[in-house]
Chains A and B, each alone.
Chain A
Amino acid sequence: QKEVEQNSGPLSVPEGAIASLNCTYSDRGSQSFFWYRQYSGKSPELIMFIYSNGDKEDGRFTAQLNKASQYVSLLIRDSQPSDSATYLCAVNNLNTGNQFYFGTGTSLTVIP
């Protein structure tokens, strides 16, 4: 069973719409949850992290965490063509070490 699962997409949304990206994880003891954005040929860039159940907002980005359902999501409001990238979900459990487990990523395309 994969540690972290994401829909690989591709996900296409029109410019100005809300993009919704989802991630599930298998380790119920996971404590920290991260979203990275990766442009083609580049390295991952940390855009959001969340540690507690509920929502966390930062500009156009909102991360949502539901530990009971082992589910974390990322909403991108007012999507822009520059948001077109692969979004990687990562989780870790400090009780078992500080390694991050990554999903395979969801490819997002924002259509002008």
Chain B
Amino acid sequence: DAGVTQSPTHLIKTRGQQVTLRCSPKSGHDTVSWYQQALGQGPQFIFQYYEEEERQRGNFPDRFSGHQFPNYSSELNVNALLLGDSALYLCASSLVGGREQYFGPGTRLTVT
């Protein structure tokens, strides 16, 4: 049973650049949520995708955008990177209406 996968594992970008992170959900799951985890903090909800639409959004600026594809995989895009965007970006998958969310291994983004 394939779990949640994310790519890349690590990424280094410069301020002002743009980045795209990718996620494939656990087999059988159709909902993808993205979280940002800064060092020493708990994950913070960015947004959730279901049926290729953004269903819910956390308190993140419009620089953060996403997409979900027909195969349920998802992308997170961040424009105009700031130093404060350096964090572990986590993708979690679930079934719509399901309660449990399972995380992928994360992408460590460093902005210099």
Contact = CB atoms under 8 A, between A and B. Distances in A.
Nearest to B47: A99
Contacts of B99: 31-32, 49, 51, 92, 94
Interface of B: 31, 33, 35, 40-45, 48, 55-56, 58, 88, 90, 92, 94, 97, 99-106
Nearest to A102: B42
Contact of A43 (B33, B58, B100, B104): B104
Given A34-B101, A105-B42, 10 more contacts: A31-B99, A42-B105, A44-B90, A46-B100, A49-B99, A94-B97, A100-B35, A101-B45, A102-B42, A104-B42
A64 to B, nearest CB: 18
16 contacts: A4-B42, A32-B99, A34-B100, A43-B106, A45-B103, A46-B102, A88-B42, A97-B56, A98-B31, A99-B33, A99-B58, A100-B35, A100-B92, A100-B101, A102-B43, A105-B42
A44 B43 contact: yes
Interface in A1-60: 4, 31-32, 34, 36, 42-46, 49, 51
A103 B100 contact: no
Given A97-B56, A98-B31, A99-B58, A46 B41 contact: no
Interface of A: 4, 31-32, 34, 36, 42-46, 49, 51, 88, 90, 92, 94, 97-105
Contacts of B42: 4, 88, 90, 102-105
Contacts, number: 61
B105 A104 contact: no
B43 A100 contact: yes
Contact of A104 (B35, B41, B100, B106): B41
Contacts of B55: 97-98
